[in-house]
């Protein structure tokens, strides 16, 4: 063997030095094995997690559930519609038509006007939070908030139609139902 210019002193190792050297080599071998495992299997682990997320949030899986839930509330049973939305089915469909025609509420790419208005009425009727509505209607929190704001602006456009100024009762009213109330008198 040719002399390269490195002078190596080959003395035998003591027991402690030998144990320390074996431990260092063993740790380096474990790190090397871990790196090789992650290099070979890490990609498949990430792909598996990504696929699980895609299935969980994929629209083709969620749409049938969304439609069946909305159909259950609005079309199946009148008592469920009254319980959830605090109005019957006919009044709900009339309100949908009013918000579409006058209020300017439109169907979006992934949500119908009926679903937006049902979420809006459910939030108002039961003082629900975004988190519980997004679970019930299988939507994201942003979608629920955006639909609520769209419905609110559409309902506010309906205020001249829905809110009517009351007519005052005159003193010379003929009907008997108004005779118990006198104008200008405060009863304490």
The predicted pLDDT at position 148 comes to: 96
Longest CA–CA span in the chain (Å) reads 129
How many whole angstroms separate alpha carbon 116 and alpha carbon 33? 54
Would you say residue 9 lies in a domain? no
51 and 142, same domain (yes or no): no
Would you say residue 11 lies in a domain? no
Model confidence at 55: pLDDT above 50: no
How many whole angstroms separate alpha carbon 144 and alpha carbon 133? 7
The contacts of residue 103 (CB under 8 Å, 6+ apart) are 153, 154, 155, 157, 158
Would you say residue 174 lies in a domain? no
Would you say residue 118 lies in a domain? yes
How many whole angstroms separate alpha carbon 21 and alpha carbon 140? 56
44 and 94, same domain (yes or no): no
Q: What confidence tens digit (pLDDT) does each residue in 2-52 have?
A: 555 555 566 777 778 778 878 888 888 888 887 777 777 666 555 555 545
Alpha helices in the chain (DSSP H): 15-57, 59-71, 78-85, 89-101, 113-126, 130-136, 141-157, 159-162
- ∠ CA 93-97-103 to the nearest 5 degrees? 130
For residue 49, the enclosing domain spans 22-57
How many whole angstroms separate alpha carbon 158 and alpha carbon 180? 34
Please, what is the angle between helix 113-126 and helix 59-71, to 10°? Answer: 60
Would you say residue 177 lies in a domain? no
107 and 40, same domain (yes or no): no
Q: State CA 48 to chain mean position distance.
A: 24
53 and 71, same domain (yes or no): no
Number of C-beta neighbours around residue 117 at 10 A: 26
74 and 101, same domain (yes or no): yes
Tokens describing residue 113 = 């006007």
Would you say residue 43 lies in a domain? yes
Q: What confidence tens digit (pLDDT) does each residue in 72-106 have?
A: 888 887 888 899 899 999 999 999 999 999 999 99
């Amino acid at each position: 063997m040719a002399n390269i210019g490195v002078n190596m002193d080959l003395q035998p190792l003591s027991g402690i030095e030998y144990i320390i050297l074996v431990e260092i080599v063993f740790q380096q071998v474990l790190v090397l094995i871990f790196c090789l495992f992650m290099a070979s299997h890490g990609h498949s682990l990430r792909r598996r997690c990504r696929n699980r997320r895609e299935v969980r949030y994929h629209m083709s899986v969620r749409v049938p559930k969304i439609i069946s839930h909305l159909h259950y509330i609005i079309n199946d049973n009148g008592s469920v519609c009254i319980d959830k939305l605090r109005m019957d089915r006919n009044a709900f469909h009339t309100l949908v038509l009013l918000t579409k025609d006058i209020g300017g509420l439109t169907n979006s790419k992934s949500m119908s006007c009926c679903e937006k208005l049902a979420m809006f009425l459910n939030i108002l009727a039961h003082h629900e939070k975004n988190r519980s509505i997004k679970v019930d209607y299988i939507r994201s929190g942003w979608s629920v908030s955006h639909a609520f704001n769209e419905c609110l602006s559409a309902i506010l456009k309906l205020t001249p139609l829905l809110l009517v100024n009351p007519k005052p009762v005159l003193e010379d009213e003929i009907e008997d139902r108004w005779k118990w109330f006198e104008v200008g008198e405060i009863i304490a």
